[in-house]
Amino acid sequence: MANHKSALKRIRSSEAKRLRNKYQHKSTRTAVRKLRGMTDAKEAAEYLKTASSMLDKLARKNVIHKNKAANIKSALAKHVNALSA
């Protein structure tokens, strides 16, 4: 158990950040899954913006690696382009 006030605060703030990261990460994964399941090209192209934004935000906050975000965005863009072709 922590012995200092600062350590107790760090435990509280770390838990809050962990829960927030977990929520945002799960929401993004759900959005990616939803986009991969879409068949309408116009709707998918519009939703790609939202999903890309979510991935960028996770990468910026170091929840996921920036290269992983880029790889997922690239795969999603290929999926959307294949729908419109």
Q: What is the pLDDT of residues 60-83, one digit of tens each?
A: 999 999 999 999 999 999 999 999
* Amino acid 2: pLDDT: 79
Residues of the chain with pLDDT under 50: none
CB 34 within 8 A of CB 11: no
* Residue 57 to residue 38: CA distance in whole angstroms: 23
Q: In 40-84, which ranges are continuous DSSP H helix?
A: 41-60, 66-84
Q: Answer whether 33's CB lies under 8 Å from 66's CB.
A: no
Which residue bears the tokens 């709707």?
43
pLDDT at 17: 96
HSE-CB of 55 using CA atoms within 13 angstroms: 25
